[in-house]
Amino acid sequence: MDGPMVTMGVRHLGGQVAVVDIKGEVTAACEPVLMSAYEEAGGLGTSRLVLNFAGLEYMNSGGIGMIVTLLVRANRQRQQLAAYGLSDHYREIFELTRLDEAITIYDDEASALVGAAT
């Protein structure tokens, strides 16, 4: 089996906020890519991580597990986690798994960044 079918780019905005742009499939196989993106995003005094799911093609239960792992690591560092770009299907999954109670879900990047300022 080839490597994960996902890329994650990191953008630092305003010093304390980092956006992780997720493109492709989020599964258990993406752990090295996700954790590398987290390490890149989590440094430099970052207090809030925003996950951009607009490029998400597929996510399974292993991928949800990876998001939970990311949430645990962010909580340990006292970092807030937010997300935007989730399709209705994945929003519903976040609600069913109660991830939406720990990760604030926004409609778009502008809303997520305004939320970061409050």
> Tell me, what's the pLDDT at 3?
56
Question: What per-residue string of b and e applies to 72-98 under the rule 16 or more CB within 10 Å gives b?
Answer: ebbeeeebbbbbbbbeeebbebbeeee
User: What digits encode the pLDDT tens for the residues 73-91?
Assistant: 999 999 999 999 999 999 9
* Domains of the chain: residue spans and CATH: 6-106 (3.30.750.24)
Query: What is the Cα–Cα distance from 78 to 111, expressed in whole angstroms?
Result: 21
User: What digits encode the pLDDT tens for the residues 9-51?
Assistant: 999 987 789 999 999 999 999 999 999 999 999 875 789 999 9
Three-class DSSP category at 56: strand
Number of H helices, E strands in the chain: 4, 5
Regarding predicted confidence, which is higher, 117 or 58? 58
> Tell me, what's the pLDDT at 2?
56
> Tell me, what's the pLDDT at 20?
96
